[in-house]
Amino acid sequence: MVKAWILQEANGVCELCNSDSLFLKDNGKPYLEVHHVHHLANGGSDTISNAVGVCPNCHRALHYSIKRDELVYALYALYALYDKIDRLVDECN
Protein backbone atom coordinates (compact mmCIF):
# COMPACT_ATOMS: atom_id res chain seq x y z
CA MET A 1 0.00 0.00 0.00
CA VAL A 2 2.90 2.36 0.70
CA LYS A 3 4.35 1.80 -2.76
CA ALA A 4 1.00 2.39 -4.46
CA TRP A 5 0.40 5.59 -2.47
CA ILE A 6 3.88 6.96 -3.20
CA LEU A 7 3.64 6.27 -6.92
CA GLN A 8 0.19 7.84 -7.11
CA GLU A 9 1.39 10.89 -5.17
CA ALA A 10 4.46 11.31 -7.41
CA ASN A 11 2.16 11.19 -10.44
CA GLY A 12 4.92 10.26 -12.89
CA VAL A 13 7.36 12.94 -11.74
CA CYS A 14 10.59 12.16 -9.87
CA GLU A 15 10.33 13.65 -6.39
CA LEU A 16 14.06 14.40 -6.36
CA CYS A 17 14.93 15.90 -9.75
CA ASN A 18 11.38 16.81 -10.87
CA SER A 19 11.83 15.06 -14.24
CA ASP A 20 8.95 13.29 -15.89
CA SER A 21 9.14 9.52 -16.00
CA LEU A 22 11.20 8.48 -19.02
CA PHE A 23 8.74 5.82 -20.18
CA LEU A 24 5.40 4.19 -19.57
CA LYS A 25 5.09 0.63 -18.32
CA ASP A 26 3.09 -1.91 -20.30
CA ASN A 27 0.04 -1.01 -18.18
CA GLY A 28 0.29 2.61 -19.39
CA LYS A 29 1.49 4.04 -16.05
CA PRO A 30 4.72 6.04 -15.75
CA TYR A 31 7.73 4.14 -14.44
CA LEU A 32 9.18 5.37 -11.15
CA GLU A 33 10.87 3.50 -8.32
CA VAL A 34 10.12 3.78 -4.61
CA HIS A 35 13.07 4.65 -2.38
CA HIS A 36 13.05 4.40 1.41
CA VAL A 37 15.02 7.40 2.63
CA HIS A 38 16.07 5.66 5.85
CA HIS A 39 16.74 2.23 4.37
CA LEU A 40 14.62 -0.66 5.59
CA ALA A 41 17.79 -2.68 6.17
CA ASN A 42 18.93 0.00 8.61
CA GLY A 43 15.68 0.04 10.57
CA GLY A 44 13.71 2.51 8.48
CA SER A 45 9.95 2.25 8.40
CA ASP A 46 7.85 1.19 5.41
CA THR A 47 5.67 4.30 5.60
CA ILE A 48 4.80 7.23 3.36
CA SER A 49 6.80 9.49 5.67
CA ASN A 50 9.96 7.54 4.76
CA ALA A 51 9.47 6.84 1.06
CA VAL A 52 9.68 8.77 -2.20
CA GLY A 53 9.01 8.08 -5.87
CA VAL A 54 12.12 8.65 -7.96
CA CYS A 55 13.44 8.04 -11.46
CA PRO A 56 15.94 5.18 -11.88
CA ASN A 57 18.89 7.58 -12.16
CA CYS A 58 18.04 9.36 -8.91
CA HIS A 59 17.36 6.03 -7.21
CA ARG A 60 20.85 4.78 -8.07
CA ALA A 61 22.34 8.12 -6.98
CA LEU A 62 20.54 7.87 -3.63
CA HIS A 63 22.20 4.50 -3.07
CA TYR A 64 25.62 4.81 -4.69
CA SER A 65 26.57 8.44 -5.35
CA ILE A 66 29.43 9.99 -3.43
CA LYS A 67 26.94 12.79 -2.72
CA ARG A 68 24.07 10.53 -1.64
CA ASP A 69 23.79 12.13 1.81
CA GLU A 70 23.69 15.57 0.22
CA LEU A 71 20.74 14.44 -1.91
CA VAL A 72 18.82 13.64 1.27
CA TYR A 73 20.02 16.52 3.45
CA ALA A 74 20.45 20.10 2.22
CA LEU A 75 24.21 20.31 2.63
CA TYR A 76 25.19 21.39 -0.87
CA ALA A 77 22.58 19.68 -2.98
CA LEU A 78 20.47 21.52 -5.52
CA TYR A 79 17.68 19.13 -4.59
CA ALA A 80 17.33 17.75 -1.08
CA LEU A 81 14.52 15.38 -0.19
CA TYR A 82 13.87 16.59 3.35
CA ASP A 83 13.66 20.20 2.15
CA LYS A 84 11.38 19.40 -0.78
CA ILE A 85 8.87 16.91 0.58
CA ASP A 86 6.83 17.91 3.61
CA ARG A 87 5.55 14.39 4.38
CA LEU A 88 9.06 13.06 5.07
CA VAL A 89 10.14 12.54 8.67
CA ASP A 90 13.86 12.21 9.42
CA GLU A 91 14.06 8.83 11.16
CA CYS A 92 17.84 9.02 11.55
CA ASN A 93 17.85 11.94 13.98
**pLDDT tens, position by position, 3-33:** 999 999 999 999 999 999 999 999 999 999 9
Mean pLDDT of the chain: 88
Give a yes or no: residue 38 inside a domain.
Answer: yes
Give a yes or no: residue 93 inside a domain.
Answer: no
CATH (domain of 61): 1.10.30
Give a yes or no: residue 60 inside a domain.
Answer: yes
Alpha carbons 2 and 60: distance in angstroms, whole number = 20
Contacting residues for 29 by C-beta, under 8 A, at least 6 apart: 7, 12
Enter the pTM of the model: 0.82
Give a yes or no: residue 91 inside a domain.
Answer: no
Domain that holds residue 33: 2-84
Alpha carbons 22 and 38: distance in angstroms, whole number = 26
- Number of structural domains, the chain? 1
Give a yes or no: residue 90 inside a domain.
Answer: no
33-36 and 51-54 beta bridge pairing = antiparallel
Give a yes or no: residue 80 inside a domain.
Answer: yes
Give a yes or no: residue 74 inside a domain.
Answer: yes
Please report the sign of the dihedral spanned by the C-alpha atoms of residue 19, residue 6, residue 89, residue 35.
negative
